[in-house]
Amino acid sequence: MKEAVPNYYHKFQCIADRCNHNCCIGWEIDIDEETMVRYSAMDGEMWERIRHAISGEVPHFILQAGDRCPFLNEAGLCDIICECGEEALCEICTLHPRFRNFYADFIETGLGLCCEEAARIILSETHKFSMVLPQDVSLLDEERLFFARRQKIFDILQDREKSIKARFSILASAFGFDFNFSLDALCSLYLSLERLDEAWTKEIDALKGFSFDGGIFEDEAFQIRFEQLSVYFVFRHLTEAMWDGGYESRVCFVLMSCYYIGALWARHRAKKGHLKLDELADIARRYSAEVEYSEENLEILMQPDFLG
């Protein structure tokens, strides 16, 4: 199928054993039907080991101590890749950290922020986000209208003649709400969600009561960082609005996420005096892992009740 990718997409390469937050730890790894059929048909010691490591009505790898994938070795590498090659991976392992937006005649593939290397690439990109549609694609009327509307949102967020705070305020106003969130209310909201890591709970608790004046949105050093962050969230989460009409709630989610990550960045900067790119990326990565990979959390955060 035809594919479109962001301008920074091909910079990504898994850093494997150099990764501080290995995606083979802490995540349930489901085996897709096609891969399961392939695993069931293969002979040999490694394939037998793979089959013995799978369980469940929905087939998945049985995680080991520390929620490690059974094929993540002590060197931080994947035994399946080392022994059988990347083509032996199941779909979720092959795709991660990528995500896909599906259309009638093509797909868009992006890099997910929950991967530390992807987060570094996204936040360090200085060129404006761009997508080039494949040649000779056929667009439905709904898709044509959606892409035009999404581009208007991108244009607002990428208007570098204005501060990012002004851009966020203009976008919020265009959809009927203010870029003026209550940090304490947001902390209470995020504490009500499903959480993967106790460290995230401590992060939220530490943010409650933090005196956040929003000055980081005027800081020149953070302008492009917030631009890339907001455009990423739009790119990843707006597509479904084409079918359910939920543009307002999704734009609110985008700006609410940027506001909250901005507050986290500001608190860490106040504590340390400065923040390096890797630290900014890690905070954004943690937010993504806790929020974007839980359908329940996304459903709650995209309710229109949070507008305003």
What pLDDT, in 10s, does the model give residues 202-248? 999 999 989 999 999 999 999 999 999 999 999 999 999 999 999 99
Diameter over CA atoms, the chain: 62
pLDDT over 50 at 181, yes or no: yes
pLDDT of residue 108: 97
pLDDT bin (cut points 50, 70, 90) of residue 6 is very high
CA angle 216, 265, 164 (to 5 degrees): 35
Evaluate whether 215 touches 265 at the Cβ level (below 8 Å).
no
Distance between CA atoms of 268 and 266, rounded to whole angstroms?
6
pTM for the model: 0.89
Q: In this predicted model, which residue has the larger pLDDT, 220 or 47?
A: 220
Interval 144-166 mean pLDDT:
97
Q: How many residues does the chain have?
A: 308
If we measure between CA atoms, which residue out of 146, 289, 168, 290 comes closest to residue 227?
168
| Residue 290 · residue 195 · CB < 8 Å | yes
Task: Report residue 260 CA to chain centroid gap.
Answer: 15
Question: In this structure, how many other beta carbons lie within 10 angstroms of the beta carbon of residue 242?
Answer: 19
Domains of the chain by residue range: 24-95, 137-306
The end-to-end CA distance of the chain, in Å, is: 40
Q: Given a cut of 50, is residue 308 above it in pLDDT?
A: no
pLDDT tens-digit map of 81-107: 998 888 888 888 888 889 999 999 999
Determine whether 55 is exposed, middle or buried from the number of CB atoms within 10 Å of its CB (0-12, 13-18, 19+).
Answer: exposed
Query: Would you say residue 306 has pLDDT above 60?
Result: no
Is a pLDDT exceeding 80 seen at residue 305? Answer: no
Burial of residue 220, with CB atoms counted within 10 A of its CB: 0-12 exposed, 13-18 middle, 19 or more buried: exposed
Per the listing, tokens 């943690």 go with 286
β-bridge partners, 111: 98
Q: Which of 251, 215, 245 is nearest to 230 (CA)?
A: 251
- One-character DSSP codes across the chain: -EEE-BTTGGG----GGG-SS-TTBSS--BPPHHHHHHHHH--SHHHHHHHHTEETTTTEE--BGGGB-TTB-TTS-BHHHHHH-GGGS-HHHHHTTEEEEE-SSEEEEEE-TTSHHHHHHHHH--SPP-B-PPTT----HHHHHHHHHHHHHHHHHT-TTS-HHHHHHHHHHHTT--S---HHHHHHHHHTS--S-HHHHHHHHHHTT----SGGGT-GGGHHHHHHHHHHHHHHHSTTHHHH--HHHHHHHHHHHHHHHHHHHHHHHHHHS---HHHHHHHHHHHHHHHTT-HHHHHHHT-GGG--
